[in-house]
Amino acid sequence: AQSVTQLGSHVSVSEGALVLLRCNYSSSVPPYLFWYVQYPNQGLQLLLKYTSAATLVKGINGFEAEFKKSETSFHLTKPSAHMSDAAEYFCAVSPTGRRALTFGSGTRLQVQP
């Protein structure tokens, strides 16, 4: 069974600082990987996805993630945090051939002024 581990349930950064949200997955074969963001009282918005085309994936709002097979990681980064980035972020994995997403437990990002 596939699983996703997000290290750090809460991350706090200063406005303008680097954002790094960690995600590790377990899978016997390279899966599809996703990052979603959830603002309060809203659904999930897709930030970016990895589907084996390129290891460095660029997403919306200045976010990007790098797939590292050797480390089974898919960490999310943004060079400069903005107040509007404060939200909960979820890493998810989907095995090839199936659509069901397995989500990590989420990381709440707080951005300090």
Partner 1 sequence: KAGVTQTPRYLIKTRGQQVTLSCSPISGHRSVSWYQQTPGQGLQFLFEYFSETQRNKGNFPGRFSGRQFSNSRSEMNVSTLELGDSALYLCASSLAWEGYEQYFGPGTRLTVT
Distance CA 94, CA 1 (A): 11
CB of 4 to partner 1, least distance (A): 10
**Closest CB to partner 1 among residues 12, 45:** 45
**Closest CB to partner 1 among residues 66, 88:** 88
Concatenating the DSSP letter of every residue in 40-90 gives: TTS-EEEEEEE-SS-SEEE-GGG-EEEEETTTTEEEEEESS--GGG-EEEE
CB of 77 to partner 1, least distance (A): 20
Binding site for partner 1 (CB under 8 A): 32, 34, 36, 41-46, 49, 51, 90, 92, 96-106
